[in-house]
Amino acid sequence: MSQDLSLDRFERVALATIAALPPPFAEPARAVLLRIADWPAADMLADLGMEDPLELTGLYDGVPMTEKSVFAFGGPPDTVWLFREPILAEWRERGDVELDDLVAHVVIHEFAHHFGWSDADIAAIDPWWE
């Protein structure tokens, strides 16, 4: 029996991770668009000065809440991207983590960019490096 490695699984795990955020964060997080793709687009890599698409497991595209003005309107919506193939490559390379845990970790880190969280804030929610 093969394991489900589909985009749908990644979306289910990401949505469950967002729903499990502490109450002050869960509601604003639901306002961020979630996109799951196999690979990052070439222009995303170019904007980040990256050549290897395997280096980019996720991306926050937007203005962090700590930098937003109440007077700013319009513009593209804040978006969190997850890239399935780079996440799968990291998962296979590590060999010591569950896929769902790795997906959740990437989700938390991308939302950390959205909320302007510090490393201590991230560790309180996702103690990945302990």
Query: Which position has the token pair 């997080």?
Result: 29
Sole residue written with tokens 């639901």:
30
Residue-wise pLDDT tens digits, 112-125 = 888 887 767 777 77
Output the six-digit token pair for 42: 């070439």
- Please report whether residue 86 resides in a domain: no
The answer as to whether 107 is a domain residue is yes
Q: Note whether residue 93 is domain-resident.
A: no
In this structure, of 27-31, 55-59, 90-94, 96-100, the range with the lowest mean pLDDT score is: 27-31
pTM for the full predicted model: 0.85
Quick one: average pLDDT of 2-24?
A: 91
Q: Is residue 57 part of a domain?
A: yes
Instruction: Look at residues 129, 30, 40 and name the one whose alpha carbon lies nearest to residue 82.
Output: 40
Q: Structurally, how many domains does the chain consist of?
A: 1
| pLDDT higher than threshold 60 for residue 2 | no
pLDDT value at residue 1? 39
Region 83-101: mean pLDDT is: 95
Q: Is residue 77 part of a domain?
A: no
Find, among 69, 66, 104, 67, the residue nearest to 87 by Cα: 104
Distance, in Å, from the CA atom of 61 to the CA atom of 23, rounded to the nearest integer, reads 23
> How much is the pLDDT for 70?
64
Whether 55 has a pLDDT exceeding 60, the answer reads yes
Structural domain contains residue 6: no
Q: Which helix (H) or strand (E) segment is 108 a member of?
A: helix 99-115
Which tens digits make up the pLDDT trace of 62-79? 877 777 766 666 678 899
Domain hosting 46: range is: 11-67+98-130
Residue 29 lies in a domain: yes
In a domain, 16, yes or no: yes
The closest of 97, 94, 115 to 105, measured between CA atoms, is 97
